[in-house]
């Protein structure tokens, strides 16, 4: 596996969703779009050279029993941020997951449209990433796919508080139940090693993509898209023969 990394708990959200200060900023369109991220900053070179980049087209290579993720989400959200790249819901301290008896604290979740990962070559209109970090700085992401259908009640609460201006914040009090309810009841998942899907594209991220999608209405898809006026997903990366468990 490529180099192991340590990430400060204080700066985790900044690392995931923003570039380094004073450097040419990245985006999803034009000269600073994903195909050119590696050219924008010396720290972003792994976006092109890395062999375990995300997102990927998930085609399982091993069908074995994998232990369930234990979810212990018992705190609220406190704010919703429009950072110019996505809408991010920040979570109060105290919620966590356990993977193979190792704990990862939930820091935030955010959205991409259309989905970044594909499942068996299928794309979805929206994907949520629940971002967690362990005490030693390792990252674990739980991804949820959305399919067009009925209105999503939890998304309705989130979208009612949309901060429309870039770098703006609104107060958002989702209950721990709301945060759990955004996920499907069936939490079987695919797992593989990958990277951040935004610069600096750091590798060593544990990806856990839930198999069962949840519903989102056509109007809600448009509502999210209209905030930015363009897609905010990175293109599919080569799997490079990595192991994908189901």
More confident residue, 16 or 229: 229
Please write the tens of the pLDDT for every residue from 29-75.
999 999 999 999 999 999 999 999 999 999 999 888 899 999 999 99
Q: What mean pLDDT is reported for the chain?
A: 91
Instruction: State the Cα–Cα distance between residues 168 and 43, nearest whole angstrom.
Output: 27
pTM here is 0.90
- Please pick, among 38, 85, 112, 129, the residue that the annotation labels catalytic: 85
Q: Is the pLDDT of residue 17 over 60?
A: no
Once rounded to an integer, what is the mean pLDDT over residues 101-106?
97
Highest CATH level, class, for 12-17+28-228: alpha beta
pLDDT band at 19 (very low <50, low <70, confident <90, very high): very low
| pLDDT the model gives residue 35 | 95
Spell out a b/e string for 8-43, using b for 16 or more CB atoms within 10 Å of the CB, else e.
eeeebbebbbbbbeeeeebbbeeebebebbbebbee
Span 157-190, pLDDT tens digits: 999 999 999 999 999 999 999 999 999 999 999 9
206-231 tens-digit pLDDT: 999 999 999 999 999 999 999 999 99
Q: How many residues does the chain have?
A: 246
- For 6, residues 6+ apart whose C-beta sits below 8 A from its C-beta are 136, 137
Question: Rounded to 5 degrees, what are φ and ψ at 48?
Answer: -105, -40
Domain boundaries, the chain: 12-17+28-228
Mark whether 85 is an active-site residue: yes
Q: Give the bridge partners for 85, in sequence order.
A: none
Q: Which residue has the tokens 């979810």?
A: 71
> Which alpha helices (DSSP H) does the chain contain, by range?
12-17, 37-40, 46-49, 153-159, 176-181, 218-228
């Amino acid at each position: 596996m490529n180099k192991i990394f340590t990430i400060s708990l204080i700066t985790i959200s900044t690392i995931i969703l923003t570039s380094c200060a004073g450097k040419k900023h990245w985006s999803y369109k034009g000269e600073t779009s994903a195909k050119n991220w590696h050219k924008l900053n010396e720290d972003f070179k792994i976006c092109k050279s890395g062999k375990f980049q995300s997102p990927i087209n998930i085609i399982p290579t091993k069908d074995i029993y994998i232990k369930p993720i234990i979810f212990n989400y018992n705190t609220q959200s406190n704010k919703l941020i429009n950072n110019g790249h996505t809408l991010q819901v920040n979570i109060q301290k105290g919620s966590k997951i356990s993977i193979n008896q190792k704990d990862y604290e939930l820091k935030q979740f955010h959205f991409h449209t259309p989905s970044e990962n594909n499942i068996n070559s299928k794309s979805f209109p929206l994907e949520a990433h629940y971002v967690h970090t362990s005490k030693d700085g390792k990252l674990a992401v739980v991804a949820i796919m959305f399919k067009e259908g009925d209105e999503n009640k939890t998304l309705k609460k989130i979208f009612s508080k949309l901060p429309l201006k870039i770098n703006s914040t609104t107060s958002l009090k989702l209950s721990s139940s709301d945060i759990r309810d955004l996920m499907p009841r069936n939490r079987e998942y695919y797992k593989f090693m990958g990277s951040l899907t935004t610069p600096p594209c750091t590798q060593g991220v544990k990806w856990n993509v839930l198999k069962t999608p949840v519903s989102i209405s056509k109007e809600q898809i448009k509502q999210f898209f209209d905030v930015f006026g363009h897609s905010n997903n990175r293109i599919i990366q080569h799997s490079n023969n990595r192991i994908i468990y189901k």
